[in-house]
Structure formats: C-alpha cells, structure tokens
Chains A and B, each alone.
Chain A
Amino acid sequence: AQKITQTQPGMFVQEKEAVTLDCTYDTSDQSYGLFWYKQPSSGEMIFLIYQGSYDEQNATEGRYSLNFQKARKSANLVISASQLGDSAMYFCAMREMNSGGYQKVTFGIGTKLQVIP
C-alpha cells in the first residue's frame, strides 16, 4: 500500500483564490509527522508546513494551512489567496519511526499547481 497518496497530478487555480491539495497517508504508528514541501521549476525543495500527529490544532504558516483529519488519515494543504509564484510542484511527506528506532520520511508523487492570472 502507498504510504502517501496524492491523487491530483495537476491543479489549476485562479490568482487570489484558495486551493486545496489533497494528501492521504497510511501508517500504524501513533506518533508521526506530516510535511508539505514546494518544488518550483528551479528544483529546490522548500519546506512549507509541518503537522505532528499529537497536535490538536491544524498547523498554519502564513497563507498555508494544513487540514489535518486524523481519523480519515488526511493532511490536505490549503493555500489561500493564491499568487503566481505559488505555481510549482507540491509534495506531501510523512515522517515515521521505523523498526530500527529512527525516523524515515516518505514522499508522495506530488501535485503540480498552476496559478492562472
């Protein structure tokens, strides 16, 4: 089974509108973390937001918020007031503790977001 599933290969959003990028995950751990990274066309990986499995509040960082629904195992990224510079690939990732006692991060295949002027 996929650990991280991103079902939207591509998304379009009008500038200044909000957009939700979907992410579901699969883990049997009680303690884990969820990340979103942005990868613009220049290729670097930019950390956006983090949600711990024990965090009761949804994480927010500026225009980014993470809609964390633990029972449904989903961690959708919401970008409010989209800007042209938000056009990029977006990766959802999960950190788990593996049997060796250390953390391992698994990435989804990404969603390509294009912001339309």
Chain B
Amino acid sequence: NAGVMQNPRHLVRRRGQEARLRCSPMKGHSHVYWYRQLPEEGLKFMVYLQKENIIDESGMPKERFSAEFPKEGPSILRIQQVVRGDSAAYFCASSPTGAGARSYNEQFFGPGTRLTVL
C-alpha cells in the first residue's frame, strides 16, 4: 500500500526558471494539501485541492504559484519565475475525506520536495 509520493525529492532551479512539483496521494484519497516549510520554520498551509477543484488557496502567494489536481494523474504545484526566497521544502499531504466533525482524518505526508533556487 504505497504512501503519498512526491517527486522529485530534490529540485535545483536557477532564478527565473519554472519549478514543477508532483504529488501522488495515497490510493483512495481524493483530498490533497500542499505545505511549505522554510528553513528553521514549521509547515505553512498553501493550498487544499480535491479532484479538479481548488477548495482553499488562501496560503498560496497570488503571483507565480499555481496548483492543480486533475481527474487523472498527480497533483502539481507550479512555481513560475522562481526566486531565491522560494527555496524551501514543499510537502504534500493527502486524506481520504476533508470533512466530518468528529472523524479523525489524519493527513498522510509525502517525503517532501526540497527546492533550491540558485
């Protein structure tokens, strides 16, 4: 039973290039969350997606960042024209459902993608 998969694990980009980060949720999970972890900091929520829908993108910068979770295939976090401040670890998590007042919906985390912008 494969866990959440992210690739690449490490990504190096020069300033101005594009970064594409992929996340395949656990089998049967239809909810995906992206988090960013800057050096020496905790995880900060970026975006929450269900299949073909962005539910909450309140944590994602308005410019250069976009996310999608198509009907088929992995979720993609795309960063255009990267800058040095984008260097961080980007974690994806998935859960089987997103709602349920008393349900325990642990978010299962992927191993993260470490983006370095030169």
| Interface residues in chain A, defined as those with a beta carbon under 8 Å from any beta carbon in chain B | 31, 33, 35, 37, 43-45, 47, 50, 52, 54, 91, 93, 95, 97-98, 100-110
Q: How many residues of B contact A (CB 8 A)?
A: 28
| B41 interface residue per 8 A CB criterion | yes
Q: Which residues of A contact B93 (CB under 8 A)?
A: 45, 105
B106 x A110 contact (CB < 8 A)? no
Given A43-B89, A100-B56: A91 touches B42 (CB 8 Å cut-off): yes
| Inter-subunit contact B42/A107 (CB<8 Å) | yes
Alpha-carbon separation in the docked complex, A98 to B109 (Å): 21
A103 touches B109 (CB 8 A): no
Say yes or no: A45 contacts B56, CB within 8 Å: no
Question: Is the CB–CB distance between B98 and A103 below 8 Å?
Answer: yes
